[in-house]
Amino acid sequence: MRPSARALLLAILTLAGASPVRSEAPTAAASPDFAGCVGGLKTLAEERGVPRPVAETALSGIAPDPAVVPATQSQAEFVKPVWEYVEASVTPERIATGQAKLAEWSEVLGRIEAAYGVDRHILVAFWGVESNYGAALEGAGIRPVVPALATLACGDPARPGLWRDELVAALKILADGDADAERMRGSWAGAMGHTQFMPTAFLRHAVDFDGDGKRDIWHAVPDALASTANFLKQSGWRAGEGWGLEVLLPDGFDYRLADETTERPFAEWRTLGLKPAGGAFPDGAERRAVLLLPTGAKGPAFLLEPNFRVILRYNTALAYALTVAHLSDRLRGAPGFTRDWPRGDRMLSTEERTDLQTRLSALGHPVGGADGKIGPKTRAAIRAFQAAKGLVPDGYADAALLEKVRAAGAPAP
């Protein structure tokens, strides 16, 4: 799946009904070059194996979708703390509906588990997060995919190649007969159906599970859930293993161990004083996990097993993966997190995060590019800075940390 586009979509979906349409007029998409650009797309599609009549029919006479390009431009400033993502999707209603879906689709889910080795609670959690079990597919923002992707391919100068690839994939889906142009609807970014596959992901992973000859992720729940299971299996999902669990850390814990990259056996974590917040550590000496503190020492801690990385293949945002993982537990009947989040913290803006990254680099702690996104490399740089300053090295980027980094004397960018 295309993680960048998926992350954009998530940000849009979590706006709780807010329209992604902004008031600014679209820029390049409305230019008189659109028709010429679309002509080039027809040629490109043909070069990549799409029958010319399919491209002609799908692309002729289309107009730029005025909502689409502004939607891409609204994303960078969107900042939301991790717990807001989790709590926006893991609501009592979302849990109750998911449990009803588990009962409704029990027989199909049993066959999908047998075929792909992916647990039903994870699959239904993806379904709930991606489309609210299909309810979001009726929303006003759902639009024909081909014009949306053509608008992006011709109007988003940041990533035209990505959108061209997705558009050609969408045309191949039409050519294969899995959907027609009217039924092939999706988000402004081209994410389609109950579990929001991008067209390239559809071509690689979608399956016909109900046996009617079409891979219909838009209307056939068995096809959508089995396609998601197939994606996860092909991405390395380990049958019989979970995603991980919340843990409690002992007093005086050495936070340098929470480096997100060092896998240790559960027995070793137990020896280091970690305890499951609920339930138990998994059996089996070969089971290993990394320790992650999404909001540092002030919030919940998690031991993450390899399957968590597979969830991140669907969408690279940590908040997204944690949301799917937690919803799967709640669908199973598990309680909420034991430790609360640092809700009083002010989130850093994109500008502040970029400033933080620039300053950390200048102080000799490389962040792998100052892009305003806090990922594993930035958290590692923060831990290194904290350790050098005698602070608790928990890797959390909050306003207090930024003040300390600014006070450390790195030059302004």
Q: How far is the CB of 184 from Ca ion (least distance, A)?
A: 14
Q: How far is the CB of 224 from Ca ion (least distance, A)?
A: 10
The CA-based angle 144-147-153, given to 5 degrees, is 135
Residues that bind Ca ion (rule: CB under 5 A) add up to a total of 7
Query: What is the rounded distance in angstroms from the CA atom of residue 377 to the CA atom of residue 365?
Result: 9
Q: Hey, is 95 helix, strand or coil?
A: helix
Element (H, E) at 155: helix 145-155
| 356 CB neighbour count, 10 Å cutoff | 27
| Residues shown for the chain | 413
Q: Which is nearer to Ca ion, 34 or 116 (CB)?
A: 116
305 near Ca ion, rule: CB under 5 A: no
Member of 24, 104, 180, 212 binding Ca ion (CB under 5 A): 212
The residue number whose beta carbon is nearest to Ca ion equals: 208
Of 62-70, 105-113, 210-218, 384-392, the window that binds Ca ion (rule: CB under 5 A) is 210-218
Q: How far is the CB of 340 from Ca ion (least distance, A)?
A: 44
Q: In the 8-state DSSP scheme, what is residue 347?
A: P
Q: How far is the CB of 195 from Ca ion (least distance, A)?
A: 14
Q: How far is the CB of 215 from Ca ion (least distance, A)?
A: 6
217 near Ca ion, rule: CB under 5 A: no
Cβ atoms of 194 and 137 closer than 8 Å: yes
Query: What is the rounded distance in angstroms from the CA atom of residue 96 to the CA atom of residue 216?
Result: 26
210 near Ca ion, rule: CB under 5 A: yes
Binding to Ca ion (CB under 5 A): which residues in 219-238?
220, 223
Mask: binding to Ca ion, 167-206, rule CB under 5 A, as x and -? ----------------------------------------
Query: What is the rounded distance in angstroms from the CA atom of residue 188 to the CA atom of residue 152?
Result: 9
Query: What is the rounded distance in angstroms from the CA atom of residue 350 to the CA atom of residue 42?
Result: 38
Of 36-44, 71-79, 207-215, 285-293, the window that binds Ca ion (rule: CB under 5 A) is 207-215
Q: How far is the CB of 109 from Ca ion (least distance, A)?
A: 16
Q: Which is nearer to Ca ion, 44 or 175 (CB)?
A: 175
**Tokens representing residue 35 in the block:** 């028709």
Of 89-97, 159-167, 196-204, 214-222, the window that binds Ca ion (rule: CB under 5 A) is 214-222
Q: Which is nearer to Ca ion, 155 or 186 (CB)?
A: 186
The beta strands (E) that lie in 38-191 are given as 143-144, 185-186
Q: How far is the CB of 185 from Ca ion (least distance, A)?
A: 17
Cβ atoms of 38 and 350 closer than 8 Å: no
Surface-to-core class of residue 329, CB atoms within 10 Å of its CB (0-12 exposed, 13-18 middle, 19+ buried): buried
Q: How many CA atoms lie within 13 A of 69 on its CB side?
A: 24
Binding to Ca ion (CB under 5 A): which residues in 21-50?
none
Of 212-220, 256-264, 320-328, 400-408, the window that binds Ca ion (rule: CB under 5 A) is 212-220
Which pairing describes strands 185-186 and 143-144: parallel, antiparallel, or unpaired? antiparallel
208 near Ca ion, rule: CB under 5 A: yes
Q: Fill in the amino acid letter for 377.
A: K
Binding site for Ca ion (CB under 5 A): 208, 210, 212, 214, 216, 220, 223
